[in-house]
């Protein structure tokens, strides 16, 4: 019996792959042999402007040494979930320092920032709760909202940074427990949320404000209370801190509830001791005079590329997928790795180059980028 096309997996898979390829949205990972911004890609030496290692701490000697020491003491993995003897002293020490760094009562580690958003929003989201989410929030927030909806919460999406519409939504749900969740720095546009105004709105309606601080390397740390509202922070160890993992920092009651309810904490292996030790060492660097100098250098590099831009994420919107792919390839031929970002990561018609700057980039590398971008704009009319 020949399979029905509607039920045949092979036919469906081929059709899905063809659809992705025909729309110039096909992706595949590339092996980039690098330790820092410069490395080898397909036999070519290139400088990456694609990494979120904003302060260059993945290659910092103290960060690498801490990871090696942790492996020597505890091995390469944790061996279990946190509540089934997967916790090591380094996890607890890191959580203490994360809370201190973020200015909160407590903090809890997750395997990734993605898992942190899923765990937090699924825990907060329940029947009788309304979650308000910016339309350009990260995929982890979107998926966390989906989990909250499955738990009975209502999800309301408001237009990007549109506080007037958000206020209308909050007013119309004023009889419910409410959460407002937003990126602090948006990962594809590099723009920032107006935290003070959001906090004021949340205070007016007794809403909890959840901030995803993943990309907020140049932004000041928000206070635990602002404008009369409580702020819960979500962050990663993989960007500013150059390691791997995620965390939630906030009131002790929120953190205690996550330890007992968040499925992405309870039912997964604890972060590796090496990553946790690396992140702890990175916090030490970040809070030192060296850390201040790295941020100043990053700020200066951002201003060279786009004066006054608030973050190290600089989008160059080109429109359709083919234009972005073509521009990315032209830059690669110049020895510069700048990825083409296409739907569904960004809205249709807004495909772009995403330039991500790091304090590890040299002045000469920034100059090369500026020269190449200038040539792109001249040659392509972009």
Residue-range domain boundaries for the chain: 25-54+312-380, 60-286
Is 64 assigned a catalytic role?
no
Contact 250, 231 (CB under 8 A): yes
Q: Which of 184, 187, 350, 351 is catalytic?
A: 187
pLDDT confidence bin for 139, thresholds 50/70/90: very high
- Lowest mean pLDDT of 273-282, 291-300, 305-314, 373-382, name the range: 373-382
Span 254-272, average pLDDT: 98
* pLDDT > 80? residue 91: yes
- CATH among 3.40.50.300, 2.40.30.10, 3.90.600.10, 3.40.640.10 for 60-286: 3.40.640.10
* pTM recorded for the entire structure: 0.93
Q: Provide the CATH topology of domain 25-54+312-380.
A: 3.90.1150
Burial of 38 (0-12, 13-18, 19+ CB in 10 A): middle
Q: Which of 138, 239, 309, 361 is catalytic?
A: 239
Among left, alpha and beta (phi > 0; psi -120 to 50; other), residue 182 is beta
* pLDDT > 70? residue 343: yes
Residue position matching structure tokens 């007016």: 204
Is 215 assigned a catalytic role?
yes
Span 294-313, average pLDDT: 98
Taking only the tens place, the pLDDT of each residue in 225-238 is: 888 899 999 999 99
* pLDDT > 50? residue 321: yes
Taking only the tens place, the pLDDT of each residue in 106-128 is: 999 999 999 999 999 999 999 99
pLDDT confidence bin for 68, thresholds 50/70/90: very high
Question: What distance in Å separates the CA atoms of residue 301 and residue 367, rounded to the nearest whole number?
Answer: 10
Token digits of residue 135: 């339309």
Question: What distance in Å separates the CA atoms of residue 358 and residue 301, rounded to the nearest whole number?
Answer: 8
Q: Which of 91, 132, 215, 309 is catalytic?
A: 215
What is the reported pLDDT for 2?
57
């Amino acid at each position: 019996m020949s399979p029905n096309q509607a039920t045949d997996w092979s036919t469906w898979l081929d059709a899905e792959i063809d659809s992705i390829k025909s729309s110039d949205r096909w992706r595949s990972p590339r092996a980039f042999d690098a330790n820092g911004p410069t490395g080898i890609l397909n036999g070519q030496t290139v400088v990456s402007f694609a990494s979120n290692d904003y302060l260059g701490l993945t290659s910092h000697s103290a960060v690498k040494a801490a990871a090696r020491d942790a492996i020597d003491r505890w091995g390469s993995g944790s061996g279990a979930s946190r509540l089934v003897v997967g916790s090591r002293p380094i996890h607890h020490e890191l959580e203490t320092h994360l809370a201190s760094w973020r200015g909160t009562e407590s903090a809890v580690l997750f395997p990734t920032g993605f898992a942190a958003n899923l765990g937090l929003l699924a825990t907060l989201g329940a029947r009788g709760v309304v979650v308000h989410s910016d339309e350009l929030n990260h995929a982890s927030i979107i998926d966390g909202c989906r989990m909250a909806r499955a738990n009975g919460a209502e999800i309301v999406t408001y237009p990007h940074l549109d506080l007037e519409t958000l206020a209308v939504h909050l007013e119309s749900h004023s009889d419910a427990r409410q959460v407002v969740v937003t990126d602090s720095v948006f990962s594809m546009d590099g723009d920032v949320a107006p935290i003070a105004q959001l906090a004021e709105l949340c205070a007016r309606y007794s809403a909890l404000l959840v901030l995803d601080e993943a990309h907020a390397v140049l932004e000041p740390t928000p206070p635990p209370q602002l404008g009369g509202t409580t702020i819960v922070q979500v962050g990663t160890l993989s960007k500013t801190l150059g390691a791997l993992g995620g965390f939630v920092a906030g009131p002790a009651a929120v953190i205690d509830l996550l330890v007992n309810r968040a499925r992405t904490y309870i039912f997964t292996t604890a972060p590796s001791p090496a990553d946790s030790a690396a992140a702890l060492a990175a916090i030490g660097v970040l809070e030192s005079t060296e850390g201040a100098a790295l941020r100043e250098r990053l700020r200066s590099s951002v201003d060279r590329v786009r004066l006054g831009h608030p973050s190290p994420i600089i989008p160059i919107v080109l429109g359709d997928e083919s234009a972005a792919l073509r521009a990315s390839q032209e830059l690669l031929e110049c020895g510069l790795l700048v990825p083409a970002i296409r739907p569904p990561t960004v809205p249709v018609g807004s495909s772009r180059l995403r330039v991500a700057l790091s304090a590890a980039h040299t002045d000469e590398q920034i100059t090369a980028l500026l020269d190449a971008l200038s040539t792109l704009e001249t040659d392509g009319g972009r």
